């Protein structure tokens, strides 16, 4: 069985490998055909050298970069059935609706939104002080390493997903480090990306792909002088190791790490629509076997009969729902370990709590519960992320205890409140919301956090340790592009030497520029 090549410097070529690995079908536990290489430093070094040369991308007209993003989206659509088939085999995620009807269209939609942002140009916040003739704009930061997660084989794929689209749209070459649980999906996507690169005449190393490195080389490549920035989505432990290496050489690293996504269900909402909420919550929790960064796995309730009814209703849903496969054996093992940690810290099983035997990698739909008092005794352990189909109810004695619980929360991507429509919960909301607000990137009302819309106003980010910096979002254009940019100021630079975006004439008549502190699409009078 030949080993798949890697994509370096515009060529699919054999890796300088230290070993190989195979993907697995998590639905069956069987190895999938095809060997993928574990690259040595030689591959990383060549990719970095090629990417550095490909930073001439910064001088490429926006139309050409937009064309690439659009053609890539079209090529993905052309190869859709093959992509869905392999992604399903590698992740166990349902072909439809999830992969074919939701995630793939989302992915091509992101690429097209990124193309539109490149054409329009406002994302870079071009700023002009006409009086002093000082002008500035965000500009490409340099080669971006993208480490994609296991749970979105398309939409967060390192060679096609949101970080990829944002980094390219900001004018940077991307070196993709495939997630090792779906290397075959990444390979097909990289084939289409590279074909689109060739078709649209971008520098050949605009898109490169390697599959796996040693941890040591991973730390080395993020810290390399040729690296511009890094985007990482995945486990906290691995992410923080990369952060430490990148920080040491001043490389911006954007992380999307763990999050338990607290949901506070206020009593009026339970009275008003408890059964409906149990449905909604169970659906959100079990979707994709709970393998979302924004999975609501930490629910705060006030002690009482209505909360007990809610828990019982969710329990019934969890027990009645099928046990769908997890993404890999590693995910199943980690989930079991997390549930064990929660139990050891004082949480009690409501249902589930064990690995389901073959076929594939499955864990029983799991609910746990703990009192507010016990939570406050072990707040760190009881915020252990149980990535997958498990959720913890934290039952507070009273409102004061809810406040204490919220004040002990780590940084999270999201936090949600459910309250009644009549205003009966408003006093509690006003008490609790400011506490949760400071600890999450996105605050929701009456809505589960699992839908992360690709919206200009989205924040898929949050306070540490849910990410590495609370000011940036991984989803949402234009803001996600700004992660991969450096601020370039031009002071008294002669007119003809300015980038097009900063010249007096608005380059496309549509670009928003902050001219003398007012946003404007107009040309500047000579």
Residue 489, interface with a copy of itself (CB under 8 A)? yes
- Catalytic residue status for 44: no
For residues 459-478, which are near a copy of itself according to CB under 8 A?
A: 459, 461, 463-465, 468-473, 478
Task: Pick one of 497, 509, 525, 526: the residue that binds a copy of itself (CB under 8 A).
Answer: 497
Task: Given the residues 285, 293, 385, 401, select the one marked as catalytic.
Answer: 293
Report the relative pairing of strands 17-21 and 36-39 from DSSP bridges.
antiparallel
CB nearer a copy of itself, residue 89 or residue 114:
114
Q: For the packed helices 62-78 and 80-91, what is the interaxial angle rounded to 10 degrees?
A: 70
Report helix, strand or coil for 392.
strand
For residues 432-451, which are near a copy of itself according to CB under 8 A?
A: 433-434, 437-438, 441-447, 449
Shortest distance in whole angstroms from residue 55 CB to a copy of itself: 8
- Cβ-contact 290, 298 below 8 angstroms: no
DSSP conformation letters of 10-38: TEEE---EEEEE--EETTTTEEPS-BEEE
- Distance, in Å, from the CA atom of 411 to the CA atom of 483, rounded to the nearest integer, reads 20
Question: What letters, b where the CB count within 10 A reaches 16 and e where it falls short, cover 206-215?
Answer: bbbbbbbbee
- Distance, in Å, from the CA atom of 177 to the CA atom of 220, rounded to the nearest integer, reads 14
Tell me how many residues contact a copy of itself (CB under 8 A): 73
Q: Which helix (H) or strand (E) holds 456?
A: none
Q: Could you tell me which of 133, 134, 109, 137 has the C-alpha nearest to residue 123?
A: 137
CB nearer a copy of itself, residue 253 or residue 392:
253
CB nearer a copy of itself, residue 26 or residue 478:
478
For residues 373-432, which are near a copy of itself according to CB under 8 A?
A: 411, 414, 429
- E-strand spans in 322-371? 348-351, 355-356, 362-363, 366-371
Give me the helices (H) in 92-214, please: 104-120, 162-169, 183-200
For residues 212-271, which are near a copy of itself according to CB under 8 A?
A: 243-244, 247-252
Residue 491, interface with a copy of itself (CB under 8 A)? yes
- Which x/- pattern, by CB under 8 A, does the window 33-72 give for a copy of itself? --------------------------x-------------
Residue 487, interface with a copy of itself (CB under 8 A)? yes
Q: Could you tell me which of 373, 354, 377 has the C-alpha nearest to residue 364?
A: 354
For residues 103-132, which are near a copy of itself according to CB under 8 A?
A: 122, 125, 127-129, 132
For residues 296-325, which are near a copy of itself according to CB under 8 A?
A: none
Burial class of residue 22 (count of CB atoms within 10 Å of its CB; 0-12, 13-18, 19+): middle
- Which x/- pattern, by CB under 8 A, does the window 130-159 give for a copy of itself? --x-xxx-x--xx-----------------
- Catalytic residue status for 305: no
Residue 509, interface with a copy of itself (CB under 8 A)? no
CB nearer a copy of itself, residue 319 or residue 491:
491
Catalytic residues: 256, 293
């Amino acid at each position: 069985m030949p080993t798949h090549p890697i994509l370096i410097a515009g060529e699919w070529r054999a890796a300088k490998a230290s070993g190989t690995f195979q993907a697995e079908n998590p639905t069956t536990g069987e190895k999938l055909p095809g060997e993928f290489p574990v690259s040595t430093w030689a591959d990383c070094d060549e990719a970095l050298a090629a990417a550095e040369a490909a930073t001439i991308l910064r001088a490429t007209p926006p139309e050409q970069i937009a064309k690439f993003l659009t053609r890539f989206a079209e090529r993905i659509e052309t190869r859709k059935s093959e992509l869905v088939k392999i992604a399903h085999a590698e992740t166990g995620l349902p072909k439809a609706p999830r992969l074919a009807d939701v995630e793939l269209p989302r992915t091509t939609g992101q690429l097209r939104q990124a193309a539109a942002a490149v054409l329009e140009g406002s994302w870079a916040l071009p700023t002009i002080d006409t009086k002093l003739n000082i002008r500035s704009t965000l500009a490409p930061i340099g080669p971006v390493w993208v480490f994609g997660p296991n749970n979105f084989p398309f939409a967060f794929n390192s060679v096609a997903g949101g970080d990829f689209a944002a980094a390219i749209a900001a004018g940077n070459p991307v070196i993709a480090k495939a997630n090792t649980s779906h290397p075959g999906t990444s390979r097909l996507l990289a084939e289409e990306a590279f074909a689109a690169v060739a078709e649209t005449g971008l520098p050949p190393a605009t898109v490169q792909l390697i599959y796996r490195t040693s941890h040591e080389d991973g730390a080395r490549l993020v810290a390399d002088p040729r690296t511009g920035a890094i985007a990482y989505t995945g486990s906290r432990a691995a992410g923080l190791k990369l952060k430490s290496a990148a920080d040491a050489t001043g490389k911006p690293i954007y992380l999307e790490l763990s999050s338990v996504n607290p949901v506070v269900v206020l009593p009026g909402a339970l009275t008003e629509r408890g059964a409906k909420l149990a449905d909604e919550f169970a659906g959100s929790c079990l979707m994709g076997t709970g393998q979302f960064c924004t999975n609501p796995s930490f629910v705060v309730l006030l002690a009482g009969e209505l909360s007990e009814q809610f828990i019982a209703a969710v329990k019934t849903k969890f027990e009645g729902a099928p046990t769908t496969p997890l993404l890999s054996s590693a995910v199943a093992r980690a989930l079991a370990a997390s549930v064990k940690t929660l139990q050891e810290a004082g949480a009690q099983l409501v249902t589930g709590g064990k690995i389901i035997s073959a076929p594939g990698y499955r864990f029983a739909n799991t609910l746990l519960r703990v009192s507010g008092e016990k939570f406050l005794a072990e707040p760190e352990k009881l915020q252990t992320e149980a990535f997958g189909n498990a959720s913890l109810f934290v039952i507070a004695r009273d409102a004061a205890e809810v406040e204490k619980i919220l004040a002990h929360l780590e940084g999270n991507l999201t936090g949600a409140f459910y309250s009644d429509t009549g205003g009966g919960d408003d006093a509690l909301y006003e008490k609790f919301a400011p506490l949760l607000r400071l600890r999450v990137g996105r605050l929701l009302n009456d809505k589960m956090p699992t839908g992360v819309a690709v919206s200009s106003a989205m924040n898929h980010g949050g306070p540490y340790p849910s990410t590495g910096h609370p000011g940036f979002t991984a989803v949402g254009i234009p803001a996600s592009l700004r992660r991969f940019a450096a601020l370039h100021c031009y002071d008294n630079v002669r007119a003809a030497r300015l980038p097009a975006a900063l010249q007096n004439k608005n380059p496309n008549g549509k670009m928003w520029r902050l001219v003398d502190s007012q946003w404007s699409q107009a040309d500047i009078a000579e």
